[in-house]
Amino acid sequence: MMQYRKFGKLDWQPSALGFGCMRLPTLDGKAANIDQEKVTEMIHTAIEAGVNYFDTAYPYHDQMSEVSLGKALEGGYRERVCIATKSPIWLIKESADFDRLLDEQLRRLQIITIDFYLLHALNSESWAKTQKLDLLRRAEAAKADGRIRYLGFSFHDNLETFKQIVDGYNAWDFCQIQYNYMDTSIQAGTEGLHYAAEKGLAVVIMEPLLGGKLALDLPATRPIWDSAAQKRQPADWALQWIWNQPEVSLVLSGMSTLEQVEENISSASVSKPGLLSAAEVELVAKVCDVVNSLGPIPCTRCEYCLPCPNGVNIPSNFDVYNRIAMYDVLDDCRNEYKRWIPDEEKAAACIQCDECLSKCPQQILISTWLPVVEEVLGLNRPYVKSV
């Protein structure tokens, strides 16, 4: 039976599992060519099992995800669920664009009200833009006229910026953060999760499986998982670790197959805060340590090397590079490097000034590694395990 959880201060309970519509099945591998028949079957299966939160966004699947979700919810299914989608802040050039894009999303979804509307992927730059263009006032007007019901934001930046955004508007209903057992100190992290929850915000979790990486059966971690009295698949361990925390309102999973839907429903049906024992939580921590040890660069993300005089985000570059060895996912890491690290913060911006070398407590040869990171991730050269 599906489990339900608290959603911040709202008098509504979400299913523990939310359906993320960013990795839907396609007909030919092209993002826009969604296999609607499979999507509809997956979504109907999820709804019949009690899933009541569906998350999409303007750009997903080359702007076709919202359309696909709208089609799948025809025939009375819309009335049984809540829909979340996001305002593409990067496309907004003037205040009026907020309403134009919102109205377009309503048409795509075939609805008159979006239940949960998020400002998409806020960071320090887009938060400043939000304030400059007075977009929160636009959102409040949309709430007043019934086009959106609740307002929140999704987030990709550091903890300090996350707290600034949480505190920068006193009417947030919820937020969405990247969080999993490998990312407890990255972006908002555990501290951000607790901070938002203490402020009364519901906290929606994205990337619980780190883009599928935490579902992999890694040889290095298999003995640890096998030592547990309660046997679980790696994906189930990762999900239960998040659901174990009462501050979490729901966990989104971007599912691509009916089998994944059914597996995640099975996991959600037994989830609850406090499910894992102290020994099981420690076991997950051991897995985290082992996976981290696979990375060739011994960076702990302490950030003592920052600020770089030329703006390079040294820990983020090293983190993406390390994940190649940790999960054997070179192509994924190249995509992550190109998509999520701004050009001015990439390894290529290093000018070899060596100011960072004396600051690193791990004595990493930072200025030697950064060109390697750019060669492998930015220029698609062969992977290097050591320098």
Query: What is the model's pLDDT at position 300?
Result: 85
- C-alpha 241/C-alpha 144 separation (Å) is 38
Total-model pTM: 0.91
Cα-only R_g, the chain: 21
pLDDT tens readout for residues 149-171: 999 999 999 999 999 999 999 99
What pLDDT was estimated at residue 81? 98
Of 333, 331, 363, 329, which Cα lies nearest the Cα of 347? 333
* Structure confidence by residue, pLDDT tens digits, 267-306: 999 999 999 999 999 999 999 999 999 999 999 888 889 9
Give residue-wise pLDDT tens across range 110-148.
Answer: 999 999 999 999 999 999 999 999 999 999 999 999 999
Q: Exposed, middle or buried by CB within 10 Å (0-12, 13-18, 19+), for 381? A: exposed
Nearest to 325 by CA among 166, 224, 213: 213
Please give the pLDDT value at position 302. 87
Cβ-proximal residues to 305 (8 Å cutoff; 6+ apart), any chain: 314, 315, 356, 359, 360, 366
pLDDT at 149: 98
pLDDT at site 361: 86
Q: Which two tokens stand for residue 161?
A: 């910026």
pLDDT at position 303:
86
Q: Are 264 and 44 in contact (CB under 8 A)?
A: no
Output phi, psi for 28, to 5 deg.
Answer: -140, 20
Which domains does the chain show, CATH number per domain? 17-284 (3.20.20.100), 294-387 (no CATH)
Q: What residue ranges of the chain have pLDDT lower than 50?
A: none
Integer Cα distance of 257 and 249 in angstroms: 24
Three-class DSSP category at 253: strand
